[in-house]
């Protein structure tokens, strides 16, 4: 009621009040291992054809797209992408070089506000339809810089989908018999394992991880092949992340965001290789 009627008083909510807590962290966002980021995006891109058809639901597409948006803003341009920019610079040998393809339209990336308040409803950005080329999902412009604000917004949006969309749609997404939903949710969980600790405030770094790991394992275990699709092939990347997460939990049942943050910063290769890490 306070928000709707813009009531002034002690409990007035300022749309930007949350930003004071996160602004410094977003401007000093830790780097996400680029091999890990690209592996995640390639795996997410393999799901797109299964969500483009009429049988897929809007909530499945929305969760997939926001999961992509959790990772993609943290990419860093590769040497090849930077080289293509130099070749296309006026006065160089090839001034007609084609611009680097982008999976998401340039206009869209500039329309995203610095940080959206999760208490205020807003349009999801981007949408499934805004991703122009899933084959180019890991390609960014040579001038692209990692953007923690966009990643934070996507982390919030993905949770808002699960907490504010119609109950029947959320239940369908999470139904053990929904194979597409299981694959999407497996990626949703595992992307949060590798991104959320980087974006979490100090007050959340003691959050325990064990229950979330166990839930995600049940989601992946529910994925089975059928006569049409090898669904288990689509969860190979989440399974690799879960292998490392299980090793972490077995070493430390009180595993927290801080422990996971230390692994992501100091030895991210354990997730790329799906192996044991030393806590």
DSSP string, 117-156: -TTS----SS-GGGB--GGGTT---TT----HHHHHHHHH
Q: What is the pLDDT of residue 87?
A: 61
Q: Residue 98: what pLDDT? A: 46
Q: Let me know how long the chain is.
A: 279
Check: pTM over 0.85? Answer yes or no.
Answer: no
Sign of the CA dihedral with 268 first, then 126, 105, and 151 last: negative
pLDDT reported for residue 209: 94
Give residue 25's pLDDT: 67
For residues 62-88, b (16+ Cβ closer than 10 Å) or e, as one string? bbbbbbbbbbbbbbebeeebeebbeeb
Alpha carbon 221 to chain centroid distance? 22
Write the CA distances from 38 to 32, 73, 101, 188, integer angstroms: 10, 11, 16, 15
Q: Are 48 and 170 in contact (CB under 8 A)?
A: no
Helix, strand or coil, per DSSP, at residue 114 = coil
As a whole number of angstroms, the distance between CA 145 and CA 27 comes to: 11
What is the pLDDT, as a whole number, of residue 9?
81
Residue 228: exposure state from Cβ atoms within 10 A (0-12, 13-18, ≥19):
exposed
Residue with tokens 């790991």: 213
Is residue 31 classed as helix, strand or coil in its secondary structure?
coil
Q: What is the DSSP string of 83-98?
A: HHHHHTSTTSS-TTPP
Residue from 257, 118, 149, 145 nearest 201 by CA: 257
The predicted pLDDT at position 107 comes to 34
Q: Residue 270 has which token pair? A: 């354990």
Q: What's the rounded Cα separation, in Å, for the pair 101 and 124?
A: 23
- pLDDT on residue 211: 96
DSSP letters, 227-243, are SS--GGGGGHHHHHHHH
pLDDT along the chain (279 residues), means of 10: 78 60 69 95 96 92 96 88 62 48 47 52 78 91 88 90 93 95 97 94 90 96 93 96 94 94 92 78
What is the pLDDT, as a whole number, of residue 17? 56
SS3 167: helix
């Amino acid at each position: 009621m306070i928000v709707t009627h813009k009531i002034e008083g002690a409990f007035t909510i300022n749309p930007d009040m949350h930003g004071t807590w996160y602004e410094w962290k977003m401007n000093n966002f830790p780097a996400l291992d680029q091999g890990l980021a690209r592996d995640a995006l390639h795996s997410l891109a393999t799901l797109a054809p299964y969500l483009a058809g009429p049988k897929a639901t809007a909530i499945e597409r929305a969760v997939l797209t926001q999961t992509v948006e959790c990772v993609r803003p943290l990419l860093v341009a590769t040497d090849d992408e930077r080289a293509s920019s130099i070749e296309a610079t006026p006065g160089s040998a090839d001034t007609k070089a084609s611009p680097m393809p982008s999976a998401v339209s340039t206009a869209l990336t500039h329309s995203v506000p610095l940080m959206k308040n999760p208490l205020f409803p807003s349009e999801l950005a981007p949408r499934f339809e805004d991703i122009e080329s899933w084959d180019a999902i890991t390609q960014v412009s040579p001038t692209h810089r990692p953007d923690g604000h966009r990643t934070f917004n996507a982390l919030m949006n993905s949770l808002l989908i699960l907490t504010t969309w119609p109950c029947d749609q959320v239940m369908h997404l999470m139904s053990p018999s929904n194979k597409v939903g299981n694959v999407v949710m497996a990626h949703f969980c595992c992307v949060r394992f590798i991104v959320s600790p980087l974006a979490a405030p100090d007050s959340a770094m003691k959050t325990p991880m064990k229950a979330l790991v166990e839930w995600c394992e049940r989601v992946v275990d529910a994925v089975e092949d059928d006569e049409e699709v090898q669904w288990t092939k689509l969860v190979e990347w989440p399974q690799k992340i879960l292998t490392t997460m299980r090793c972490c939990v077995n070493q430390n049942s009180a595993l927290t965001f801080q422990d996971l943050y230390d692994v992501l910063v100091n030895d991210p290769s354990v997730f790329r290789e799906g192996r044991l890490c030393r806590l």
